[in-house]
Amino acid sequence: MSNSVFEKIDAMLHQIQGETIHSAEELESFRIKYLGSKNTIKPLFGEIRNVPNESKKEFGQRLNDLKKTAEETFAKAKGELAKVEADSKANNIDLTAPYARSNKGSRHPVSLVMNRIIDIFEKIGFTVEEEREIEDDWHNFTAMNTPEDHPARDMQDTFYLKDSVTRLLRTHTSSVQARVMTNTQPPIRIIAPGRVYRNETISARSHCQFHQVEGLYVDKNVSFADMKQTLLYFAREMYGPDTKIRLRPSYFPFTEPSAEMDVYWGLETDVDYRITKGTGWLEILGCGMVDPQVLDNCGIDSKEYTGFAFGMGIERQAMLQYKIEDIRLLFENDVRFLSQFNAAY
């Protein structure tokens, strides 16, 4: 009986080695016949009970070799068919056919404008600093010289974390400046881009979350003239080489003196009249010399160092650049709207 069992294995091995596979259909038939759940090799394992004990080891080895041969034959045939198919596709490529243009992805207008602003300031030595969006009261308000009774601290303007009066969603990226000044000695030349939050009613002109880029330069003998020249450079890089700017006195708790910067937008269209209120000038950022108290709060000697700071809203810049009249469009993720912007930057 044992000889006949070994003869079955030899006959099956010969049969497998003689199989010819030239198509996917023949490959699938081979798999079902020799490797499927009801393959022809499986019944041979049951014959081990008819094999003498001294031959069982040899029987098991030869049966495993048979199964391995079937698997290797299948794998080899599968690889050869895949190669033939790939070669066939390559040979069928029409090299004279016109290029099938694929659609490029689109960057969000806020990302486009933010990256452009970062690129402008990096060219003159500013480095990018990013920090946490959940802040504490000291870095967000106190370090920035914001009085205890300032309205910005109220729940009406600030999102405080539940059951906390000291932890909040940052209301400006000035908190990044506070952390950098606390941990770094001058010279400091940074920009801090990021998302900020304020408890405001959502409308066409305002939102409860938006993006800012703030800048800070602290060193010896930094002057208001340095700030003006830096911002003039930015304006001309951003809006064109002939751009005019003006600085108007203003107030911010963390700068003294403080100013708001306008660019001359022009009065060529009805839209120009509307967004500039008939003046031709458009406010784009706030700025000023860093208040000495802010420097002292952060451990920098205000008698030795001076500095200037500025900040602007990215959404406002994007709305100006792309003539967007409703800020809510920037947060709705409507593909029809976003697909209008290219993938530059």
Residue 181 backbone dihedrals phi, psi, to 5 degrees:
-65, -30
Q: What are phi and psi of 318, to 5 degrees?
A: -65, -40
Close Cβ partners of 221 (under 8 Å, ≥ 6 residues apart):
306
d(CA 245, CA 283): 9
Q: Is the pTM of this model over 0.85?
A: no
At the top level of CATH, the class of 109-338 is: alpha beta
Instruction: List the chain residues with pLDDT less than 70.
Output: 1-3, 100, 102-104, 151-156, 342-345
The pLDDT value recorded for residue 103 is: 67
Locate the domains of the chain by residue range: 2-89, 109-338
Residue indicated by tokens 């993006």: 211
The 3-class secondary structure across the chain, one letter per residue, is CHHHHHHHHHHHHHHHHCCCCCCHHHHHHHHHHHCCCCCCCHHHHHHHHHCCHHHHHHHHHHHHHHHHHHHHHHHHHHHHHHHHHHHHHHHCCCCCCCCCCCCCCCCCHHHHHHHHHHHHHHCCCCEECCCCCEEEHHHHCHHHCCCCCCHHHCCCCCCECCCCCCEEECCCCHHHHHHHHHHCCCCEEEEEEEEEECCCCCCCCCCCEEEEEEEEEEECCCCHHHHHHHHHHHHHHHHCCCCCEEEEEEEECCEEEEEEEEEECCCCCHHHHHHCCCCCEEEEEEEEEECHHHHHHCCCCCCCCEEEEEEEEHHHHHHHHHCCCCHHHHCCCCHHHHCCCCCCC
pLDDT at residue 15, rounded to an integer: 87
pLDDT attached to residue 228: 96
What confidence score (pLDDT) does residue 272 get?
A: 77
For the record, the structure tokens of 17 come out as 């080695």
Distance separating alpha carbons of residues 50 and 140, to the nearest angstrom? 85
pLDDT at 102: 67
CA gap 312, 318 in Å, rounded = 11
Run of H or E including 209: strand 209-219
Q: What is the predicted pLDDT for the residue at 235?
A: 94
**Cα-based distances in Å from 206 to 211, 282, 342:** 12, 17, 25
